[in-house]
Amino acid sequence: MLARCLLAMVLLCVLPARGEGRIEMFYLGTPDCPYCRQWEARARGELLASAEGQAVRYVEIRGETLRQPIVARHYPPEFQWVYEQIGPSRGVPRFLLAVDGRIAPQRVDDLFHTYAELAAGAVRPIRSPRPPKNTNAATRINAMPNTTNAP
């Protein structure tokens, strides 16, 4: 659900108002990436079945391992233009959006980070603040409740 919502937001931001343009979404991943496996097992199918997912051409670019960047040899010949625009890529999963053969300036994965920041901001006020640290031993003793003279 989150993936569909984020894709819809990105499409609204980068598409021309007249509704023209070829839209491609590129997913870069590796087989040893746990986040990639989670995306592939859970969210990918939901996205591709959605109206938003059907509105774009979805392309997967597979690297070999997390330890190595995704480079030109990983891209099919018809998508070498993507590599020419972004160069070697580390850090997966990575999502790119292209409109009419140009990679959009904002990456889709930036929206995931924005969402995480917003979620963290919403949780912070709920957390109880930590009590201030007292460095003075006498202050710590005086701050302790008196249980010996309890009524």
Question: Residue 66 is part of a domain; what is its CATH number?
Answer: 3.40.30.10
Counting the structural domains of the chain, the total is 1
pLDDT tens digits, 59-115: 999 999 999 999 999 999 999 999 999 999 989 999 999 999 999 875 455 555 554
pLDDT on residue 67: 94
Per the confidence metrics, is the pTM higher than 0.85? no
**Does residue 57 lie in a domain region?**
yes
pLDDT at 13 over 70: no
* Location of structure tokens 């997966």: 92
Whether residue 11 is contained in a domain is answered as no
- In one-letter notation, the amino acid at residue 107 is R
The parent domain of residue 104 ranges over 21-127
24 pLDDT above the threshold of 50: yes
Residue 25: pLDDT band by 50, 70, 90 thresholds?
very high
In a domain, 151, yes or no: no
The reply to whether 143 falls in a domain is no
Q: Is residue 145 part of a domain?
A: no
The answer to the question of residue 108 being in a domain is: yes
Distances (CA, A) of 61 to 25, 30, 113, 119, 120: 11, 9, 21, 29, 31
